Structure formats: C-alpha cells, structure tokens
Amino acid sequence: MGQVIVELKNITKFFGASKALDEINLQIEKEKFITFLGPSGCGKTTLLRIIAGFYEPDAGEITINNRRVENVPPYDRNTAMVFQEYALFPHMTVYQNVAYGLEVKNKNKTEIDAKVEEVLKLMQLSGMEKRYPNEMSGGQQQRVAVARALVMDPHALLLDEPLSNLDAQLRESVRVELRLIQKKLGLTAIYVTHDQQEALSMSDMIVVMNKGVIHQFGTPKEIYFCPRTRFVADFIGSTNLVDARVVKEDIPVVSYHGIHLQVKGNYEALVDQDVVVSIRPECIKINKVSKESNFNLPIKILHSMFLGEKVRYHVEDSYGKEWRVDSFDSGEEILEGSAYLNIQSEKSHLIQEQ
C-alpha cells in the first residue's frame, strides 16, 4: 500500500435532523485517482467539501498530508478545487485567475509568471492569458478552472462534477486528458460524479456512496463485477438480481428453482441460506436450443431493442421473473419467441443483503 495522503476517520455530518454522512472511514493513497460515486444527495459532495474545509464535520478526524485539519480553515489546507460551475473570477483575466492563489501566498513575480505559464501551456491555454472568462467557451473555462487549481500544487486536487456542464463529446475527450495530466504530474485527485461511466473510465479506485454511507470501496473492475451490495449492483450498470439458495459452501453453488449455478462470493455463505446473486446482462447468453451447461433456463422473449453495438432483451422465465440480457452477436439474433438462457458461472456474484 502506498503512502496515505488523505485519511478520514468516522466522519459524521448532519444537516439539521438529517444525517448527511454517517461514520465515513476512508484512506486515500498518494498519486491515485479516487472517485466518489453515487446518486444526488448521497453525500459525495458533502464529503468533498468537508475535505476542502467548507463544512466542518460534526464528528470524526481528517488528516491531510500527516496533519490533522478539522480546525484548519479552507484557505490553509492546500486542497485546490475545481468547482462544478467553475467559479472563475469574472473580473479577472485568465492570467489573473490562475495567478490569484500564488499572489495570495505572496510568491514573487518571476516565480508566479513561470508557474502560470507552465500550467497554461499544460492546459493548452497559451495565448489566452488576457481573455476574460465570459469571452471563452465552456470547455475553455473549464480548463482555466483546472489550471487555477493545478498551479497551487495541491496535496489533493478536488474536482466537483467538473464535466457536468460540457457537452457529451467534449466530456469524453476531457476525461482522457484529465486522467493523463493526473498521471503525468503524479497528482492525488478526488473526483465527485454521479456518472458511472465517468467513474469507471477514469478512476484508480471508486467509492460508491448512498444515503451518507460507503457501500463499496474498490477498483472499477471490483465495483462492476463484484458489487458488494444490492445498491452497488443496481447503481453501476444494469444487472439481474436473482433470489437463490445456497447449496454448496466451499465453492459456492446456489440453486434457482432447482437449477444450480456456481457463483463467486466475497463473504461466507452457509448452506440453505437465502442469498441474492447479481448477474450482468452481458454475462448471459441467449440460445434458441437448450445447451449442456450448469445453468440453463427456458424463457420467453418479451421485447428486444436494437441498440447498435448490441441487442437488449427483456425476457421472462416460467417463474414470472424478468431478466435483462445483452447480446453482442450481431446478425444472428433471436428476436422473439421462446429460448434458453445460459450463464457463465464465473461471472455471477453473491451480494450482501442490506
């Protein structure tokens, strides 16, 4: 494990009577790209703002770069932030915006000039020093906001849904760019988003949050393929949640109405325990004829949608459960009628019931 740069211990925060954060514990390693992911109101922005110092937690400890900071005001934490609406100073030029933080720190003029120039070059903003924010496009403003934070050389770069105001295409290219810059500079970045694609594509680690608690902290792959809770499974991508009963413990095997399926589990499940299994739509194959397999379920196709790279099926089995299945074998689709579902055993996953 690398050096921990930001550590949160038992962070709790109320807004009036409602608990916005409930005993959050988290260790963020240096030079990693961490994403707080969750639906709106899950507490992710609150947590970010607590790290920045805009809110004080009602309980808990925050350590940034080996220094306890609960009582340190925001201007003394060196956690530069990129705001959702950018919050550029409208009365200052690009140069003045970026230089502001350094000037406040009373750095000398030549040093400021050099640093600002370097960062503007990095963000491909050279030549725009004299422009005012309202003379720039949304994408350019966003670059200025990032430059203004980068120039501070922060212990952790905080990003609060910085891409939400960009159009879809630009968002995609900025994602890549941000990630490359973060790697190049060896920055620790804490990124807040509600967009799972963004989280999966950019992060080293993802913190999935809901209603003020952390549901899972893991790599994008762990989050996607091994969701720990029903919420994570449901929130990230789409999935089929299947009620089943454990029939074998060591290598877990569950039974769904008598049909056995070997699954993965990250906790000990006991025989005869009722469990929920998450199966991603793309991990299911749909066949016209029954195949020799450990999971072979007859179904009826309710509806199929052609989505370009894949076909999404809504099907129903004989027990009345609806399944979602994605098929990427373009050209040989079975678009209606009866068929069989075939599941690859290692792609199914036991999740903890909340």
Partner 1 sequence: MAEPVILEKQGLGFEFKQLIKEPPLVIALVVLFVLGFIFILYPLFKIIIIPQSSDWLRFFNEPQFLRAFQNTMFSSLLSTTTAVVAGFIYAYSMNYTDIPGKKFFRTVVLFPMMSPSVVTGLAFIILFGRRGFITYQVLGLKTDLYGWVGLWIVQSLAFFPLAYMTISAVLKSISPNLELAAQNLGANGFRLFRTVTFKLALPGVLSAFLLVAINAFADFGNPMLVGGNYRVLATEAYLQVTGAWDMPIAAVLSVMLVIPTLGVFLLQKYYLDNKSYVTVTGKPVSGLKRITVSPVTKWCLFAACSCIALLILSIFITILCVAVTKVFGVDYTFTLENFMEVFFRSDALINSWIVSFITAIGTTLLGLIIAFVVSRKKFPGRNLMDFGALLPLSLPGTFIGLALILAFNEGPFAITGSLAIIIVGLVLRQMPVGYRNAISGFKQIDKSIEEASANLGANSIVTFRRIVIPMLKNACSTCFVYSFMKSMNTLSTVIFLVSPQWMLASVSILNLADHGYYGKASATGIGMMVSILITFAIVRLIFKKKINLFEL
Shortest reach from residue 69's CB to partner 1, in Å:
12
The rounded distance, in Å, linking the Cα atoms of 93 and 57 is 35
Nearer to partner 1 (CB atom), residue 7 or residue 153: 153
- Report residue 291 as tokens: 């195949």
Assess contact for 13 and 50: CB atoms under 8 A.
Answer: yes
Q: Give which of 175, 114, 163, 123 is closest to 144, Cα–Cα.
A: 123
Q: Which of 41, 74, 139, 237 binds partner 1 (CB under 8 A)?
A: 74
Q: Give which of 142, 218, 220, 138 is closest to 181, Cα–Cα.
A: 142
Side by side, the strands of the sheet bearing 59-64 are 18-29, 4-15, 59-64, 67-68
Strand partners, 207: 36, 217
The rounded distance, in Å, linking the Cα atoms of 102 and 292 is 68
Chain-centroid distance of CA 255 in Å reads 32
Asked if residue 85 binds partner 1 (CB under 8 A), the reply is yes
Asked if residue 298 binds partner 1 (CB under 8 A), the reply is no
Q: Which of 2, 25, 76, 329 binds partner 1 (CB under 8 A)?
A: 76
- Report residue 174 as tokens: 């900025």
Asked if residue 214 binds partner 1 (CB under 8 A), the reply is no
- Report residue 343 as tokens: 């599941």
SS3 228: coil
Asked if residue 302 binds partner 1 (CB under 8 A), the reply is no
Nearer to partner 1 (CB atom), residue 85 or residue 249: 85
Shortest reach from residue 191's CB to partner 1, in Å:
16
Shortest reach from residue 141's CB to partner 1, in Å:
13
Strand positions, DSSP E, 127-183: 157-160
Q: Which of 14, 61, 177, 259 binds partner 1 (CB under 8 A)?
A: 14
Which residues in 51-70 contact partner 1 (CB under 8 A)? 52-54, 56, 58-59
Asked if residue 132 binds partner 1 (CB under 8 A), the reply is no
Q: Which of 46, 79, 188, 327 binds partner 1 (CB under 8 A)?
A: 79
Q: Which of 67, 68, 105, 221 binds partner 1 (CB under 8 A)?
A: 105
Stretch that binds partner 1, among 9-17, 215-223, 262-270, 316-324 (CB under 8 A): 9-17
Nearer to partner 1 (CB atom), residue 54 or residue 267: 54
Assess contact for 147 and 95: CB atoms under 8 A.
Answer: no
Asked if residue 258 binds partner 1 (CB under 8 A), the reply is no
Stretch that binds partner 1, among 101-109, 114-122, 185-193, 227-235 (CB under 8 A): 101-109
Strand positions, DSSP E, 16-76: 18-29, 33-37, 59-64, 67-68
Count of positions on this chain that bind partner 1 (CB under 8 A): 34
Q: Hunting for tokens 């678009």 — which residue is that?
A: 335
Assess contact for 36 and 191: CB atoms under 8 A.
Answer: yes
Asked if residue 84 binds partner 1 (CB under 8 A), the reply is yes
Stretch that binds partner 1, among 86-94, 124-132, 254-262, 333-341 (CB under 8 A): 86-94
- Report residue 161 as tokens: 């849904």
**Which residues in this chain contact partner 1 in the complex, by CB under 8 A?**
12, 14-16, 52-54, 56, 58-59, 71, 73-76, 78-81, 83-85, 87-91, 100-101, 104-105, 148-149, 152
